[in-house]
Structure 1
Amino acid sequence: MRQKLVAVALAALAPVVAMLAYNEYALREQRSQEIHDSASQAARQAASEVERIIEGVHALLVSVTAMPSVLDLDVPECKRALRSVADRVDNIRAIFVVDLDGNAICSSLDPASGTRFADRAYFQQAVATKDFVVGTYTSSRISGAAVLPLAMPLLEAGSVRAVVVSGIRLDWLQSRLTERGVSPGNAVTIADGKGAILARVPLPERFVGTVIPDEYRALIHATRPGVTTVKSQDGTERILAYRPIALPSSPLYVSAGFSREEAFGSLNRATLMNALAICGGALAAFVMAILIGDRFILRPIGRISGVMDRWREGDATARTGMRTGDALANVGATLDRLLDELEDRRRRSEEAEEERRLLVGELAHRVKNGFSLVQAIASQTFGRADPARYKSFSQRLAALASTYDLILSRETSSSSVADVVSAALRAHIDPDEDRIHVEGPPVMLEADVALPLSLVIHELATNATKYGSLGSQHGRVEVQWKCDGRNVILDWTERGGPRVSAPTRRGFGSVLIERAFPSKARAETRLDYRPEGIAFQLIFLPEPSAPSGEV
């Protein structure tokens, strides 16, 4: 019962828990969308700033290509002009002009002797495309620092005369990214077209110059920006918004990642507090359900149950003593009234049973007197004239009387198959010999079935004594029965007697066997005259009025 009370408390809490769970799910979905939007905005801002920086250097190189000293390739004037420009721009380290053979013509810094740039991919691409080119992560051959090279072809009549080259200082780019700052657990990454990381916050010393892992390389060349969830190289799970280089005016790959742990931290803490509150409330509800249930439900039910147990064990005076009030008190009071009524019925039943016993005894006495009177009339009528027929009639009457004695001695309207068979065979069983074997399960018979069965068994035994196995010294009879659904199947089998053959005429016994049972018993008989002894089978309903399936 306590488990049921707890179940009731759980059922009461279930809607509240379901509502809180739904709210939790809605809040997490809302928070997830907010993080996706924030990450996308952060990626757009970082990409926009990178584009402004690239565009600024692009404009600078366009201006350089318009300088007369550069157009005329006047080396001394070109050097002075390039130094003047490079000194005023913090984000570049050098500007130099390279001829088509890859040799530096003039530079804001003096390159080492023999320094050539013909093998640089950005140089080759600028010559081939005749357009502005953004290179990849490079170690400068002039300054030796890590830069992002940018190249602008110097055109004359549509032909490339030379290439103006500069490079954004990656340490400057890193400092700009660091100044913007990110929240704890978040990250911003800038990479080139080959996946080399140019700048990163946090942990630039660990990642700048390394390549983005292969499983995320596809994001660099994606056809459109997007948001995904990744496990970063620093081991942090992040919601990552990315801007691929395939976008117009997006020369570099930019991503902004928000830590899931940090992003959902406040929500997780609120969830934990709500869960603790729910558990505390559930525990309090369970305790209250048990305490209140014990006081107002379990105790009254235990009191009622105890009275029922005592009454079942024979204590007829057991009562709850409860008065009408709440539902359980009404049950207790009703039970007391019921027990009072049952006790009154028991007393009246005992009185009726005693009266019935007297009537049964009187009936048994009258039945016996009736059989004695019938036997006396038969004896006076043809006992001396036909002793053989009188003896047969007397034995049949005795078998019928013994069955009545069996029924009346039990003071009931039914008897078992075993008792009926034994009573009918009693005159044919020799206590010193084991010639009749009786076996079968316990099956009760109604009186209108028990009486004809007794007569049938008596006729079979009489026939076996006169003509069959019981008339031989070594003959045996087996009487067996079993239940098959509602039917009882009884087999009478004789062995060891004289050789048997079918009779030429039907005697009274055969007719009795076929017609003794009432029609509602649906009796069927099979008689087989085997050489070693007859085999008789009787099939009938033991309780014709019983429902289907009962025996």
Structure 2
Amino acid sequence: MLVLTLSAATLIRWYIDRGRSGAPFALYYPLVILVAVAFGGRWAVVAGALSSFLSVVLFFDPAFTLRASIPDLVILGLYAFGCTLIAFFGHLLRATMREADENAAALKSINRELHHRSRNVATVVRALLHRARKSQPQSIQLDQFEAQLTALFAANEILKFGMAKSCDLKALAQAVLRPFPIQQIKLLGPAYEVQEQVVTRLAMILHELATNAVKYGALSDEGGQVAITWADKNGLLQIVWQETGGPPVQQPSREGLGSYLLRPGGGLKAAKASYDPEGLTCHMVFAAQ
């Protein structure tokens, strides 16, 4: 492409007057500018060097030689300086255009993700509201609904409302459990990135388990403790919620929101709650990806 455009500019200049009127670089300047913008500064330097060589050979007197007078050399030096400036600013312009394109693509992706995320949030809110309507009395409905919204928005906030594809598990647990007696909760596990499709379900489960622990379990007593441990086993995220030191627990007589949330779905592969006298233990398995 460079050779063709350079040849075209040279032939046009040769056809006009074979360089007799001077200004041998008149058609080469636009060429160097186009090359700088289209291909970058390095190619603009190459175009400048080749056009300089052709000008000396074809349009300087005597033609078809590499000899040039002092005035011709001064003009050649000015042309080289001009080409250098063109190459530099052309490179900056090209980089700016490329950055603008990348930013536009990123904004488009963010807008698409925010739209998707907002639809997901609306779906979860409707599901929570539908579930809360089945609870009695009305005060419990509102408290439960507000608590789950708190967990939901904590999860979305830590994911930057769709701009992040994953978050640190410990940071997520700390954000969700902040309203509870955090000094009685131990978070034990390695650094682990929880994927977006798991975050919402995990946040709501942790919030519901903590709520029940405050009402009936280990967090209802100052001497009680909750240990949350996690590990990656065979490509699956395994989390254990273990309560100790609280009052004896009994298996609930009916299914509540906690049982509903522990059903497989939303990244949760399996879950099992054990109501031992010394405290509730809940084993959960989530998809790693």
Q: Same fold (TM over 0.5)?
A: yes
Q: Please give the alpha-carbon distance, in whole angstroms, between the structure 1 residues aligned to 2:143 and 2:288.
A: 30
Stretches of structure 2 that go unaligned for 5 or more consecutive residues are 1-39, 48-90
Q: Please give the alpha-carbon distance, in whole angstroms, between the structure 1 residues aligned to 2:136 and 2:209.
A: 26
The equivalent position to 1:353 in structure 2, one of 106, 117, 132, is 106
* Equivalent pair of 2:156/2:162 in contact (CA under 8 Å): no
Deviation at 1:421, TM superposition (A): 1.8
For 1:418, the equivalent position in structure 2 comes to 170
Q: 1:320 to 1:366 in 2, by over 3 A?
A: same
Q: Please give the alpha-carbon distance, in whole angstroms, between the structure 1 residues aligned to 2:275 and 2:251.
A: 6
The Cα offsets for residues 127-182 of structure 1, whole Å up to 9 and x where unpaired, read as xxxxxxxxxxxxxxxxxxxxxxxxxxxxxxxxxxxxxxxxxxxxxxxxxxxxxxxx
Q: 1:455 to 1:384 in 2, by over 3 A?
A: closer
Deviation at 1:511, TM superposition (A): 2.3
Q: 1:347 to 1:401 in 2, by over 3 A?
A: same
Q: Please give the alpha-carbon distance, in whole angstroms, between the structure 1 residues aligned to 2:45 and 2:282.
A: 64
* Equivalent pair of 1:360/1:408 in contact (CA under 8 Å): no
Deviation at 1:457, TM superposition (A): 0.8
Q: How does 1:123-522 map to 2 (within 5 A)?
A: 343=95, 345-354=98-107, 359=111, 386-409=138-161, 411-430=163-182, 434-515=183-264, 517-518=265-266, 521=267
Determine which structure has the larger strand proportion and give its number.
Answer: 1
Identity of aligned residues (%): 23
Q: Please give the alpha-carbon distance, in whole angstroms, between the structure 2 residues aligned to 1:500 and 1:489.
A: 23
* Equivalent pair of 1:481/1:489 in contact (CA under 8 Å): yes
For 1:63, the equivalent position in structure 2 comes to none
* Equivalent pair of 1:383/1:390 in contact (CA under 8 Å): no
Q: 1:318 to 1:509 in 2, by over 3 A?
A: farther
Deviation at 1:418, TM superposition (A): 1.9
Q: 1:503 to 1:428 in 2, by over 3 A?
A: same
Q: Please give the alpha-carbon distance, in whole angstroms, between the structure 2 residues aligned to 1:370 and 1:523.
A: 23
For 2:21, the equivalent position in structure 1 comes to none
Q: 1:365 to 1:460 in 2, by over 3 A?
A: closer
- Higher-RCO chain (CA-CA 8 Å, sequence separation at least 6): 2
Q: Please give the alpha-carbon distance, in whole angstroms, between the structure 1 residues aligned to 2:244 and 2:216.
A: 12
Q: Please give the alpha-carbon distance, in whole angstroms, between the structure 2 residues aligned to 1:487 and 1:511.
A: 21
Q: 1:383 to 1:360 in 2, by over 3 A?
A: farther
For 2:274, the equivalent position in structure 1 comes to 528
The amino acid of 1:487's aligned partner reads: L
Deviation at 1:391, TM superposition (A): 0.6
* Equivalent pair of 2:185/2:228 in contact (CA under 8 Å): yes
Q: Please give the alpha-carbon distance, in whole angstroms, between the structure 2 residues aligned to 1:455 and 1:407.
A: 14
Deviation at 1:427, TM superposition (A): 1.9
Deviation at 1:320, TM superposition (A): 11
Deviation at 1:364, TM superposition (A): 11
Tell which structure's C-alpha radius of gyration is larger.
1
Deviation at 1:395, TM superposition (A): 0.7
Q: 1:492 to 1:321 in 2, by over 3 A?
A: farther
Q: Please give the alpha-carbon distance, in whole angstroms, between the structure 2 residues aligned to 1:481 and 1:450.
A: 14
Q: Please give the alpha-carbon distance, in whole angstroms, between the structure 1 residues aligned to 2:44 and 2:134.
A: 72
**Secondary structure of the equivalent of 1:537?**
strand
Q: Please give the alpha-carbon distance, in whole angstroms, between the structure 2 residues aligned to 1:384 and 1:485.
A: 42
* Equivalent pair of 1:490/1:537 in contact (CA under 8 Å): yes
Q: Please give the alpha-carbon distance, in whole angstroms, between the structure 1 residues aligned to 2:202 and 2:135.
A: 27
* Equivalent pair of 1:382/1:390 in contact (CA under 8 Å): no
**Secondary structure of the equivalent of 2:178?**
helix
Note the aligned Cα RMSD (angstroms). 3.9
Q: 1:319 to 1:525 in 2, by over 3 A?
A: farther
Q: Please give the alpha-carbon distance, in whole angstroms, between the structure 2 residues aligned to 1:527 and 1:384.
A: 24
Q: 1:542 to 1:345 in 2, by over 3 A?
A: farther
Q: Please give the alpha-carbon distance, in whole angstroms, between the structure 2 residues aligned to 1:409 and 1:318.
A: 42
* Equivalent pair of 1:402/1:423 in contact (CA under 8 Å): yes
For 2:6, the equivalent position in structure 1 comes to none
Determine which structure has the larger helix proportion and give its number.
Answer: 2
The amino acid of 2:231's aligned partner reads: K
Q: Please give the alpha-carbon distance, in whole angstroms, between the structure 2 residues aligned to 1:436 and 1:485.
A: 27
* Equivalent pair of 1:438/1:479 in contact (CA under 8 Å): yes
For 1:539, the equivalent position in structure 2 comes to 285
Q: 1:444 to 1:318 in 2, by over 3 A?
A: farther
The amino acid of 2:146's aligned partner reads: S
Q: Normalising to structure 1: TM-score of the pair?
A: 0.31
